[in-house]
Structure 1
């Protein structure tokens, strides 16, 4: 699993008008090619009367899945520019549709490329960019006498925290960066003078807004 990647926060849409044609950009995060296809088909169904519903999506740790569609526009003037926007922004696991309602004025190949580029950018900006960063769950089991010191030290480190469980002992759940988990485990052992029991859990992606 890669340490981090940029993607979209949520479904977003925005409309722009270019020479009387309406271009509506829709952008969303997706987890699979099936989900990307379903999203595109949903937009096509909702905008069945549009002149074109052009699209592109890109998925995978190494961007191994890349698809695009001009949906009837001249070859290379719609799907490719949308895909290029996704690439240039460094986004992963994203699908974008730009819907066009023709306004009666021809744009030419260059005009179409610019229009679909701008439509894709507008949709992506509406969806909001975030970073998904790989963390690892680390659970610390301690006696109650250690809780105050541990909590204070974790606050000082600005550690991402999960649920704290209170039973006969306390179990504190933390989420350090995945590549720092082993070092963090040793730090917890030293902090509690070897009296804490530390368990490493699963890796998972967590949203970071400060990386955008």
Structure 2
């Protein structure tokens, strides 16, 4: 079985992208956005609904999380699985996550049929993802460490040698640091810090 620590990278897009696809008079306005949570997704979808209030459909799909475990596809009134699923399929086939793709359709007067719709939404999603820059990111483990002032030198020695990202820190009689390190190096950092006397470590999850 594959160790998750060996697969601690994932792909997303660097910035929003746009594209236009046309099929038998219908226009498909295609948008892709890097996203990290469902609140942001709702904001983007609602903004497009308002901007293109007279469009026939606003179909979309998204994936969230380093492994894309959270996802959704929405047909917005198109026949079942003819819009959202083909859009999601492009995200899956390209291995892209933390991304929202919205396709706004203006009906052109000629019905495309189920196969035609599936192909049109697939090509629309492909067109906008072709415009987007695909980037690789690391899966990082994030945790909080708390320790007494007397342990400061030991902790800072580990931080200097292991070089985790220090997201937050507070040094007083009781010290606290929020650290982030790529998943493949998490175990080594945990092991080093666990040897610091009096240190308490709390895992906050992967990002």
Scaled by the length of structure 2, the TM-score of the pair is 0.62
Structure 2 partner of 1:209: none
The structure-2 alpha-carbon separation of the partners of 1:38 and 1:157, relative to structure 1 and needing over 3 Å to count, comes to closer
1:9-42 CA distance string (max 9 Å, x none): 687240224367543222343634x875665344
Separation in structure 1 between the aligned mates of residue 193 and residue 69 of structure 2, nearest angstrom: 37
1:91 Cα deviation from its structure 2 partner: 4.4
Where does 1:1-212 land on structure 2 (aligned, <5 Å)?
6=10, 8=12, 12-18=16-22, 22-28=27-33, 29=35, 31-32=37-38, 36=41, 39-58=44-63, 63=69, 66-69=72-75, 71-72=77-78, 76-92=81-97, 94-102=99-107, 112-124=117-129, 126=132, 131=137, 133-139=139-145, 141=147, 143=149, 147=153, 151=156, 153-168=158-173, 171-177=176-182, 183-188=188-193, 190=195, 194=196, 196-206=197-207
Displacement of 1:139: 2.0
SS in 2 for 1:23: strand
- Which blocks of at least 5 consecutive residues in structure 1 are unaligned? 207-212
The answer to whether the Cα contact below 8 Å between 1:55 and 1:79 also exists between their aligned partners in 2 is yes
Structure 2: 5+ residue stretches without partners: none
Q: Distance in 2 between matches of 1:43 and 1:31?
A: 17
**Distance 1:164-1:12 versus aligned 2 partners, 3 A rule:** same
Cα distance 1:199–1:146, how it changes in 2: closer, same or farther (>3 A)? closer
The alignment covers a number of residue pairs equal to 198
- RMSD (Å) for aligned C-alpha atoms: 4.5
TM-score by length of structure 1 reads 0.61
Deviations 1:53-86 (A, max 9, x none): 22234568784764330634x6654333112112
C-alpha distance in 2, partners of 1:189/1:66? 40
Distance 1:182 1:91, change over 3 A: same
